Structure 1
Amino acid sequence: MLPSLSALRAFEAAARTGSFRAAAEHLSVTPTAISHHIRGLEEQLGTKLFKRSGRDVVLTEDGQRLAETAVQAFGMLEDAVRALRRTSRKTVRVATGPIFTARWLMPRISDLWEKHPEIELEVVPSYQPGTLNRENVDIVIRWERMSEMPEGAVKLLELSPVAIASNEFLTRFGPVKSPEDLLQLPLLHQRNHWGWLDWFTAMNVRVPGSLRGPVFEDANVLLRGAAEGQGVIVGWLPLIDQDLADHRVVRLFDEQIAPTHGYYLEDRHGSRTRRETQVVLKWLTDQSGRAGIGHH
């Protein structure tokens, strides 16, 4: 008789991660539960499956043999379940960052509902959509520097950088007369320093040494910080059009910089054959074409 599926699942997770604790986190159970399953499995099979190595565990020879089969078997099961879910549901899951969701996707979402009421859209929040575990995700909308986009990428939106801050910040720190002045002011960064480095390069400002300042993943957080006078940020046109119109932030210069970043589409290879995915992909590209890829 086969051991219980839960015991085999616990063993497979521990074998794959090399840690009872990591296996427990993956399966959303306690490390004690994993340990209990493994112990019961070893008693039922009459052999040791793991030997401890500090905080980690290492497979024995018997454990290695069972692990090869278990990993393969659970992988096949997951593939089959995923395929069934995709064919039986009309939900399309999209992974994208929070600012794109709030500023580009949300204002258009009723158009999708009106044209395709049979399709349910699920938006999975992700700060780095291209790197997430994309289980059951059909479409990824990824933010990237224009120079680093994959060849043939389907662009949805091109973004041009502008320096923005609040009026309160400008009152406190005095007038900003030239781009060089910003090197002496508090700068806030999104994900890394490339946004500001690209901006300074476009404005013909040499950056001595390295830039400083806190780095945030969520651009919505940055916009709030700028609106509350915490620092100067790179804002991305056209995503910040409403913030400028509402005077939550103001542009420091009238810079006209060619797009440096953008959003592009990735779809999972296994999802391309789903009609619902194709419908949403076409809708996304149609929306992009209607608005114009750029912000002009």
Structure 2
Amino acid sequence: MNYSLPALRAFDAAAMQGSFRAAAATLSVTPTAISHHIRGLEDQLGVKLFERAGRDVVLTEDGRRLAESTAKAFGILDDAVQTLRRTSRKAVRLAAGPIFTARWLMPRLSDFWEAHSDIELEVVPSYQPGAIDQSGVDIVIRWERTASMPKDAIKLLELNPVAIASEEFMARFGAVESPKDLLGLPLLHQRDHWGWLDWFDAMGVRVPMPLRGPLFQDANALIRGATEGQGAIVGWLPLIDQDLREGRVVRLFDEQITPTHGYFVETGSGNRARRETENVMAWLQGAA
């Protein structure tokens, strides 16, 4: 038996929205058309798919089983179409955190355009890019501890940690004479406590108790907190070079610490073979 694809699409939209009217708006048709499709599908299947609940509709048990299948099926179709669209447009989707995008990638975009004017780069904001996910991302830029990355990871950029704060912070709490003094002052953290823990370890300071202080996923918010005197942070050279030059923050010490964190690049196994993805990967490594 052949089932109408528009009817299945109408059912899928109604199942997700919980409303024929909302499904109609999603598909740019009338609520009557949605109702007609659902009624025809129920007649074909010989089961009831929805129960009325005021102005909304609720899936029956049979409806729930069908909805699980249509969601998967249309998801597969949508992914395939997006992949073909990106391939035909020579588009490459890159996921990266906001500070990397704003402070490293953005100043180099004109260079990328000159080298690869035929590639459309789509930058996807991601605070924790992690592994390749199901959203069609071709390349992921990861910010991680160097010690946590596998040996075969592709390192893009090493980051040198330095303790920084604002002049306002220094005026409020007084000069910081030694690294140990920071244990008693407000500290702000990026994602987890490892930035400060690695910094204290490199400076020879034993941390006697768990570190406290708010965690921020967005490093731009963290830097703003530091510039406004809310706390001291571990800043990462070279990403904070401009902040230091313009005096928004100052280094608390003249420390020279071996890089503890960095940006690493990864691609999905299926994406690596695409020429456009390989070209972007090569450009990123060359620019770094």
Q: Does structure 2 retain, via aligned residues, the 8 Å contact 1:12–1:71?
A: no
2:9 to 6, 10, 13: 6
Q: Which residue identity does 1:252 align to in structure 2?
A: L
Partner of 1:294: none
C-alpha distance in structure 1 between counterparts of 2:272 and 2:60, whole Å: 39
C-alpha distance in structure 2 between counterparts of 1:28 and 1:152, whole Å: 45
Stretch of structure 1 that moved more, 270-279 or 69-78: 69-78
Q: Does structure 2 retain, via aligned residues, the 8 Å contact 1:86–1:274?
A: no
Stretch of structure 1 that moved more, 130-139 or 216-225: 130-139
**Residues 258 and 67 from structure 1, CA distance in 2 versus in 1: closer, same or farther, beyond 3 angstroms?**
same
Q: Does structure 2 retain, via aligned residues, the 8 Å contact 1:48–1:63?
A: no
Partner of 1:270: 270
Alpha-carbon deviation of 1:114?
1.2
Partner of 1:110: 110
C-alpha distance in structure 1 between counterparts of 2:226 and 2:63, whole Å: 59
SS in 1 for 2:255: coil
Give TM-score, length-normalised by structure 2.
0.81
Give TM-score, length-normalised by structure 1.
0.79
Q: Does structure 2 retain, via aligned residues, the 8 Å contact 1:226–1:232?
A: yes
Q: Which residue identity does 1:104 align to in structure 2?
A: W
Aligned: 1:80 with 2:83? no
Partner of 1:191: 191
SS in 2 for 1:247: coil
Aligned: 1:258 with 2:258? yes
C-alpha distance in structure 2 between counterparts of 1:286 and 1:221, whole Å: 29
SS in 2 for 1:160: strand
Q: Does structure 2 retain, via aligned residues, the 8 Å contact 1:142–1:264?
A: yes
C-alpha distance in structure 1 between counterparts of 2:189 and 2:224, whole Å: 13
SS in 2 for 1:152: coil
- CA RMSD in angstroms, aligned pairs only: 3.1
**Residues 260 and 200 from structure 1, CA distance in 2 versus in 1: closer, same or farther, beyond 3 angstroms?**
same
C-alpha distance in structure 2 between counterparts of 1:69 and 1:188, whole Å: 46
Partner of 2:226: 226
C-alpha distance in structure 2 between counterparts of 1:107 and 1:62, whole Å: 51
Partner of 1:99: 99
**1:250-296 CA-partner distances (Å, limit 9, x unpaired):** 111111211111111111333223222111111001112xxxxxxxx
**Residues 8 and 182 from structure 1, CA distance in 2 versus in 1: closer, same or farther, beyond 3 angstroms?**
same
Query: Paired residues, what number?
Result: 269
Alpha-carbon deviation of 1:110?
1.1
Alignment of 1:127-146 (within 5 A): 127-130=127-130, 133-146=133-146
Q: Which residue identity does 2:61 align to in structure 1?
A: T
SS in 2 for 1:269: coil
Give ranges in structure 2 of 5+ residues lacking alignment: 52-57
Q: Does structure 1 retain, via aligned residues, the 8 Å contact 2:89–2:120?
A: no
Aligned: 1:60 with 2:61? yes
Q: Does structure 2 retain, via aligned residues, the 8 Å contact 1:154–1:264?
A: yes
C-alpha distance in structure 1 between counterparts of 2:235 and 2:253, whole Å: 12
Alpha-carbon deviation of 1:170?
0.7
Percent sequence identity is: 63
Q: Does structure 1 retain, via aligned residues, the 8 Å contact 2:166–2:226?
A: yes
Larger Rg: 2
C-alpha distance in structure 2 between counterparts of 1:28 and 1:218, whole Å: 33
SS in 2 for 1:10: helix
C-alpha distance in structure 1 between counterparts of 2:117 and 2:156, whole Å: 23
**Residues 286 and 12 from structure 1, CA distance in 2 versus in 1: closer, same or farther, beyond 3 angstroms?**
farther
**1:131-154 CA-partner distances (Å, limit 9, x unpaired):** 584523211111111111133111
